[in-house]
Structures are given as structure tokens and as C-alpha cells.
Chain A
């Protein structure tokens, strides 16, 4: 640890390179919407008060600048004043884009980016606020699904877990407003606890290259950021109301922001969503209602050189799980799977009955930062999270209304980050982080704990360097080390303890014997190293070639270590192993990007090799009094994922544009030479968008999504004897459903309702043709079709 502190101090004392102060900074300022040049924009360099204006050609020039970083304030009578950091190296050209719309006041963009790059050598995909608003009635997973290389593992429409390049759950790190989400996402039916409406921008990094966030993201990192705040006296807000036909529901979302020229700001946001049972094309999906309530507040002040930011959010949802998916042993599963329609279809209802989930997630964060002149920027952050997860099964007697799982996870994190501006060619990011986490499973459920009591300590430190070798080549290198200590209290069944030979292998961790159970106290340590190395080469004006290698190490999660017993929501016995070590991933990614106005594309092939990959697979069938259950056991193997994501975009004319996406991933267990389970099938998305900014910003799009059948899958089917019919039947958990094609329609139009207010009306129809289909990545595909047609009508008022 001490070494890292020294490292931090060392970086901050690198001497300045010799100064060369005859550089010019030129550029133009344009309107982000129509690219029109903006005349009379005032640009002022902070501290020096050197000030220039754009001329009739929209061009400004500063002269006699050094090779240094400058803070430039850009202001225009009809736009919002805002400051930017610009790095000047030799004669530099920078263009600014400004935006007029009231609502987008906070989105002044420098070179099209209001949110800075997270990694220099991996192509990031992002979803901006305008696009995010189209998903305001959905989930974070739905929005991410619109990016190439991302699919989702679903349990109905409420639980949508993102899969990045074939990996999900603990292999994906989500950073919500600078806070790493600790929300128990280890299970397949645990979705991220984030309100999509609280986000102003989503960034996706496929792989672990952004080491400043984590070193264990073998799958990828999702960064959720709240809208940026402006330094101006203003009050603005928006309210949207949506009607949802499928589920007969309503969704309301509202945000109001007040900011002052002196840097203070406050932004409050709340959303509410309530739907009842949803429908497949031919029948009702009973008990699939959702009730979600969220709120967030952000306040603080920002100046050019220092600031404080406070953020607090509460996410609370309740969602029903398809009633017909709650079944017991293999004999029941045969009935459920072979039935063409769900076994239970009730009349429409808004009730959310068992099986259901209720999750509350609190997240608080305080961030302070200070620009230390030429030395760089230092920040310090504390964050707190509390996640309470309740799962209700169908129970009997006094336990009927009692949760069968009741977990409370509390996390405190402190971190300090430092970004060096000292050198013009070398940028350094470094930081240290400490985390304390405690999990408390409530024993009052009357069901043995799924996740044991534990306390966990993490300590980490990272350093990343990027350098401009020349004007067209950027190199990046970084390293990170994390230490994790877990102190666990776990009750094992004596029969399991002995069947695993733990009684002879691990007698030292036994605390006491209590009836048929054994209390143990495992203390686990994990030492994880991660690294990244990459380069970006720009050529021929618009082309960029990215190369990145990243090494990620992930400690096993509590579910992989300590599962031991029947997991009701997946109707199988799951067994972990407390002797697991960390899995280590090596990902090579190359991206060729062409960012041309006439035709832009990116091709991103990758290969991800993961040693000691933790996979769960069936090993046995266990006979119980409730019937036969398949036994799934976690084991470590060597896995490899190979794939490619392709994006292309082609404007036919000024108003019409074609967008294309293709993703393919193949995953294999190299030790056993068989495919990995739940790999997203190849899929195509093609979209035609009509957009007319002269006619009330009318936007109409039609999207076709084609999902192939997954032909490579491990065969985990097994045979079971059905005494009632005296036959042997196959329990078909494995066979993927057929390919399908969906059409989605989306439209919106803006109306100016007064000087300061604007109304947007949107109509979206998903699954336009009401196609019956089943999705390989949906856990409920065994029992029911996916959602049918949905009309979504949205009124949004900006003020």
C-alpha cells in the first residue's frame, strides 16, 4: 500500500517540461443541431482574462499560448456559459459545439463529448440523454440492449440483466455517478438497481480497460452519469407521462434543476411506474406486474478549480415473477415445459403476488475535487450503499406472507483520485480505494440463508498513463492491484459438509455443530492484479484503429463460494465451493472505426480468454421428497469467448438515415471442449430513421431486429421417471427456441408551447406485428412466450 502512496506523490512531483509559449489555439463554434456557425461567441481564458470573439466566419484564434492546459469559458447570448478544459500542444485546433434548446442547456459539448473519455484505447459506446429518454419506461438493461455487443438475460420484463460480449452478473461492473454498484447482482434473476431516468448519459466499455473504476470487469463496465450542471442562473425541468398498453400501466418522471452563476446547483428527480399483468400475443402473463418508485437529488457547487458534489438516490421496486414459472421438481418441470401455454393463466390484475421480489437500494455520495494548477486535479469521494433484497415464494401456513430471502448489504467506500496535467504529452491517472461491506441475511425467513453473513474489506490502487507519441498515435498503459479479505459465517448442512469431504479437508474452520448443521467461519483472501495496454492510431482523416489488451482478475462472489441448497427461483440445487480462487481474463480487442459524415462504421473483433472461469453446470439429479431436482455445481474451467460487433450508419440524405448493427459471440469451455451456456445468439438490427428539424423535430424510425437461433449450447437435458404415467420423460432445459424477427416503430414530435416551454409527444410500438417468440436468454422461455405488441404514448413537457 505504502508504495502506491509514494507513487502518487512521485507523479505529482514530475518537473515541468520546458515551455514554448508561441502556440495558437484556433477553432470554430457551431450549433450542435444544424452545424451552423455561431457568430459573436465570447471565449475567455480563465486566470489570464485573455478574451476573443468568433468572427463572421465563426472562427476564433488565441495566440501566444504555452504547451499547457487552459480553462476556457465559452459564452453566447442565446446559449449557456460554460467552462472547458483544453490541452494546447503546438498549434492546436479545437471546435466547440453549443446547443440552444432549453432542455439541453447542460449539454454543451466540446468535440461532441460532454462526458470525458474513460479509456483512450477502447472504443466506447454511449447513449446520450435524448436516446435515453426513449427508454424512460424501461430498464437500464433495455437501454443498453440498443448497443451492439450487448444483450440481456431476462426474467420477464422487469428483470433485465445486461450481457456484454457474452458475460454478465459479477463480470460486469456498473458505476452509478462514480459509485460502484453493490446490489447483489450475482443471481440470474437480480437486475441492476438503477432508475434509467436518473441518468444523463450511459457509457459502455467492453472489457476491463478502464482500471480507474475496477480491475475485475472481465465482461465490461457500464458508467451511468447524472446530467451535467451548468454554471448559470437558471431553473429548468421536465415532466413526462407515459401510458403503456401492454401491462395497462403508467409511468411518470419529473426532474427540476436550479443552478446559479456562482456555481451552486440543485437537481431533484423522481419517477414512478406501475403496470399490471403483461400479455404475450395469445395469452396473459399472470403475475408480471411492476411497481417502481425512485428519487434522486444532486446538489453542490462547481467552479473551474474546485467543487463539491452530493448525490443521493433511492430505488425501490416490486415485481411479480410469472406465476406459471414457479414449479417444484423435475416432474413438475416436465409439465411446465411441455405445455404449449403457461400452466397458470388468471384474469388480468394489478396485484403483485408471490413469487415476487422487492428491492430497495440507497446510494449516497459526496465528492470533492480541486484543480491544483498545473499539477493536476485531485478528488476525494466517500459513498454509502444499502441494498435490501426480499424474495417471496409460494409458501404454506404461517410463512405465507413471509419473505423467503431477506438480505441486507451495506457498503462504505472511500477513494481518492488524482489526474496529472503536468506534462502535455503524458497524462497520468492514479488513485486508491478502500471499501468495507457487510451482508446480513435475516434468519427470520424460516429458510436457510442463500448468502451467508459476511464482512468484506477491499483495498485497491491503480495508475494509468497515456501519452501522445505523435499527432496520430496515442499509447495507454495501466495497472491495478486489489486486495480482498472476506470474513464469513456460514452454516452448512452436515450431510453436505461430509459429502464434500470438508470435514477432513477444512476441520479448522468449524466453529460449532448445531443440530444437523455446522457453523463454519471461513476467512478468505484474494490478491488480484489487473492491467491494460493499448494504442490508438488515427489515419486518413476519419479512420481510427484501436488496439487494447486488458488483464482482469475477479474474486469469486458469495454465491459461487457458498451456494448450498435448493434455489427455488431456478428450481435446482446449486452448490458452490469455498476453495475457489480468482478468475483471470485476458481480452484482446481491435477496433477499426471510420467516422465519416457520409458513411461511418466500426468493426470490433475480440477474443477473451478466461482462466479459472467459474461456471455452473448440472452434475446430478437429486431425489427429494418434493420430487427430483437437478444438481448444478460451480466449477472452474478455462473459457474462451470470441466475437465481433459491427456498427454502420449511412445517411441517404439530410433527413433519412440507415443504421445497422450486427453482433456475434461464441463461447467455449476449453477444458471440456463444449459450448458455454446462455451465450447470446447472433443478431442483426437494421433501422431507418427520418428526422426533420425544420418540421418540429419530427422523428420517425422503424427498426427490424432479427435474432438467430443459438445452435451451440451445452446439452443439460436429463431424463426423469414420471410415476403417474409410468413413463420416462426428458426435462428439456437446454434446447434453444427458434430464430425470430421483431419490428419496432418509434416516433416523436416537438411543439413549442411558449417561450420557455416545449412539449414532445412520442409514440412507440414495440413488437409491431405481435409476433409470438421465445428468447433463449429469458429464463421464462421454458414456460411462456415473450411480450406481445406494446403501444407507448409519451407526453413530455420541458420547462
Chain B
């Protein structure tokens, strides 16, 4: 009986100790996502010296419920060559982190693909290469041909098969995919 009482006292005491101690109120620190790509900006600079065309997709809450915001600064001009460049940012950090540099450092494991939709009379060609001589796709040349309209999709694959014949046999995981509806005037 004595043991009984002692043990039941002991268990209540320990329960009490547990519930009173270690209730420190230091708040945890926030985690800022380091790898998220929130923003892709594609700058198309016409070879004839006209104004740049800027395509942008921006998703400031990453995987959160907000959808990406797509903006297109203007139409392309017919029979014009554009030199294109892609910049990737993580704007959840302040100042924004430039992810393009990471892609350049790991060029062997990354590649952009350009998909020109039906209707758009344009072509895109790579204008850069990794250390194995395969394209990365951060720089490219876009030829806008006749007056037309349609979509152009930019896809960044992580760990694709390199070299490849195109996105069909590239494999890998999609880090970015953005489609822009664009017109050639």
C-alpha cells in the first residue's frame, strides 16, 4: 500500500514537473526558402535597335495559393532577329537572389527548352554552351518571321539527359515552365 501511494505521488509529481518546466517562450526563427524561383524575366533585344520586348512570370508566394502573374511588354516585329536572355530571381529574399548564377555554375545539369506553339511563325536557337559544348539556353536567338500569333513556352529542366534531341527525350525534372501568348506584327 505504501509503495502504491508513493508511486502514485511520484507519477503525479513528475507530470506536474513536466507541465510546469520547459515552457520557455522563445519564438522560432522564420525559414526563408533559398531555392525557390519566383521570377523569370526574358529580355528580347531586337537586332535593329528597337525597344526590348520583356516577358515575365512572377509567383511571389512560391508554392502558395497565389498564381503566377504573367506580363508581356509588347508584340514582336516581323522579320526581326532578337537576342534573348533569361534571368531567374528568388524574390522571397531581400535583396532578391539571382538564381541565374547557380544555373550557370551547374550548367551541365540544366537546360532550357523553347517550344513554339502552332500558329506562331518563329524559331528559337541556342546561343550558349556548357563545358561539354551542349546548350544551356540562358542565351538564345529568336527569329520572328511573318505576322502571326501563338504561344511560346520556356521550360527549364534539372538533370536532363545531355546531349538530347529536344525536350521529348530530355527527361529530368521541370524547375520552371512558363507559357507566353505572343503576337508578331
- A511 at interface by CB-CB < 8 Å: yes
Contact between chains at B7 and A380 (CB < 8 Å) = yes
**Closest chain B residue to A8, Cβ basis:** B8
A447-B33, A453-B28, A724-B167 known; A495 vs B66 contact (CB < 8 Å): yes
Are A378 and B174 interface neighbours, CB within 8 A? no
Option from A12, A344, A623, A627 in Cβ contact (under 8 Å) with B4: A12
Residues in B neighbouring A432, C-beta threshold 8 A: 8, 11
Chain A contacts for B40, CB-based, 8 A: 625
Q: Does B30 lie within 8 Å of A499, measured CB to CB?
A: no
User: Could you say which of A213-221, A409-417, A537-545 contacts chain B?
Assistant: A409-417
Q: Is A426 among interface residues, defined by CB-CB distance under 8 A? A: no
The answer, among A396, A514, A726, for a CB contact under 8 Å with B106, is A396
Which B residues from 9 to 50 make CB contacts under 8 A with A? 10-12, 14-15, 18-19, 22-23, 27-35, 37-38, 40
Contact of B153 with A by CB under 8 A: yes
Once the chains bind, are B94 and A397 in contact (CB under 8 Å)?
no
When chains A and B are docked, how far (Å) is the Cα of A273 from the Cα of B15? 39
B27 in contact with A9 (CB, 8 Å): no
Scoring A335, A448, A514 by chain B CB atoms within 10 A of each residue's CB, the highest score goes to A448
Contact B30 A414 (CB under 8 A): no
**Out of B12, B18, B34, B168, which one reaches A5, CB within 8 Å?**
B12
Q: A347 → chain B, closest Cβ, in Å? A: 15
**Stretch of B75-83, B128-136, B138-146, B176-184 that contacts chain A:** B176-184
- Residue A626 interfacial (CB < 8 Å): yes
Q: Which residues of B contact A671 (CB under 8 A)?
A: none
Contacts of B168 in A (CB 8 A): 724
Question: Shortest distance in angstroms between A695's beta carbon and chain B's nearest beta carbon?
Answer: 54
CA distance A412 to B30 in the complex (A): 27
Question: B12 to A515, Cβ gap below 8 A?
Answer: no
CB-CB under 8 A from B171, the residues of chain A are 335, 343-344
Count A-side interface residues using an 8 Å CB cutoff. Answer: 73
Q: Which of B57-103 contact A (CB under 8 A)?
A: 57, 59-68, 92, 94, 102
B165 at the A interface (CB under 8 A): no
Q: Name A446's closest neighbour in chain B (CB-CB).
A: B34
Min CB gap A572→B, angstroms: 10
What residues of chain A lie closer than 8 Å to B123, measured between beta carbons?
Answer: none
Name the distance in Å between A436's Cβ and chain B's nearest Cβ: 4
Q: Is the CB of B175 within 8 A of A328?
A: yes
Who on chain B is nearest to A721 by CB? B179
Question: Considering residues A344, A394, A397, A511, which has the most beta carbons from chain B within 10 angstroms of its beta carbon?
Answer: A397
CB distance from B41 to the nearest CB of A (A): 12
CB distance from A398 to the nearest CB of B (A): 8
Q: Do A629 and B63 touch across chains, with their CB atoms under 8 A apart?
A: yes
Query: Which of A486-494, A681-689, A758-766 lies on the face that meets chain B?
Result: A486-494
Q: For the complex, give the distance between the alpha carbons of A416 and B7 in Å.
A: 7
Q: Are B31 and A445 in contact (CB under 8 A)?
A: yes
User: For the complex, is B151 an interface residue (Cβ under 8 Å from A)?
Assistant: yes
Nearest residue in A to B37 (C-beta to C-beta)? A625
Cβ 8 A contact of B65, one of A445, A622, A627: A622
Given A499-B65, A516-B92, A629-B63 in contact, is the A414-B11 Cβ separation under 8 Å?
yes
From A378, A514, A573, A724, B155 is in contact (CB under 8 Å) with: A724
Q: Bound state CA distance, A370 and B4, in angstroms? A: 10
Whether A176 sits at the interface, judged by CB under 8 Å, is: no
Judge if A327 is at the interface, Cβ distance under 8 Å.
yes
Question: Provided the pairs A380-B11, A493-B61, A723-B151 are in contact, do residues A418 and B4 lie with their beta carbons within 8 angstroms?
Answer: yes
Residue pair B115, A723 in contact (C-beta under 8 Å): yes
Give chain A nearest CB distance to B137 CB in angstroms. 14
CA distance A170 to B38 in the complex (A): 35
Q: Which of chain A's residues 484-512 have a Cβ closer than 8 Å to chain B? A: 487, 489, 491, 493-496, 499, 511-512
Closest to A436 in B: B18
* Distance to closest chain A CB from B148 (angstroms): 15
Q: Could you tell me how many residues of chain B have their Cβ less than 8 Å away from some Cβ of chain A?
A: 62
Q: List which A425-468 residues lie within 8 A (CB) of chain B.
A: 432, 434, 436, 438, 443, 445-449, 453, 455, 457, 459
Asked whether A94 is an interface residue with its Cβ less than 8 Å from the other chain, the reply is: no
With the chains together, A771 CA to B115 CA distance in Å? 40
Q: Is A395 an interface residue (CB 8 A)?
A: yes
B residues less than 8 Å from A378 (CB atoms): 3-4, 7
| Interface presence of A332 (CB below 8 A) | yes
- CB pair A723–B153 under 8 Å, yes or no, is yes
Distance in Å: Cβ of B153 to nearest Cβ of chain A = 4
Q: Distance (Å) between the CB of A352 and the closest chain B CB?
A: 17
Contacting residue for A625 out of B8, B19, B29, B57, CB 8 A: B57
Name A449's closest neighbour in chain B (CB-CB). Answer: B31
Q: Nearest chain B CB to A634's CB is how many angstroms away?
A: 16
Chain B residues whose CB sits within 8 angstroms of the CB of A436 once the complex forms: 18-19, 22
Interface string of A616-630 (1 = CB under 8 A from B): 000000111111010
Q: Once the chains are docked, how many angstroms separate the CA of A722 from the CA of B112? A: 16
B155 touches A519 (CB 8 A): no
Is A517 an interface residue when CB atoms closer than 8 A count as contact?
Answer: yes
User: Is A565 in the interface zone, CB < 8 Å from B?
Assistant: yes
Q: Report A12 CB to chain B, min CB distance, Å.
A: 6
Decide: A434 and B11 in contact? CB cutoff 8 A.
yes
Q: Which of B14, B29, B32, B66 contacts A434 (CB 8 A)?
A: B14
Question: Given contacts A396-B106, A396-B158, are A434 and B174 in contact (CB under 8 A)?
Answer: no
Within the assembled complex, what's the spacing in Å between the Cα atoms of A394 and B106?
Answer: 13
Shortest Cβ gap from A400 to chain B (Å): 9
A–B complex contacts, Cβ < 8 Å, 19 sampled = A9-B4, A372-B1, A396-B175, A397-B35, A416-B10, A434-B15, A438-B22, A443-B30, A445-B31, A447-B35, A449-B31, A457-B19, A493-B65, A495-B66, A516-B61, A625-B37, A625-B59, A723-B151, A723-B179
> Top 8 closest A-B pairs, CB basis?
A434-B15, A446-B34, A566-B63, A723-B153, A397-B102, A436-B18, A495-B61, A495-B64
Sample of 16 more A-B contacts, CB < 8 Å, known A5-B8, A447-B33, A447-B34: A12-B4, A370-B3, A372-B3, A378-B7, A380-B10, A394-B173, A416-B8, A438-B22, A443-B28, A459-B15, A499-B65, A623-B68, A625-B62, A626-B37, A723-B115, A726-B118
A residues sitting closer than 8 Å to B (CB atoms) are: 1, 5, 8-9, 12, 326-329, 331-332, 335, 343-344, 370, 372, 375, 378, 380, 394-399, 412, 414-416, 418, 432, 434, 436, 438, 443, 445-449, 453, 455, 457, 459, 487, 489, 491, 493-496, 499, 511-512, 514-517, 519, 521, 565-566, 573, 622-627, 629, 723-724, 726
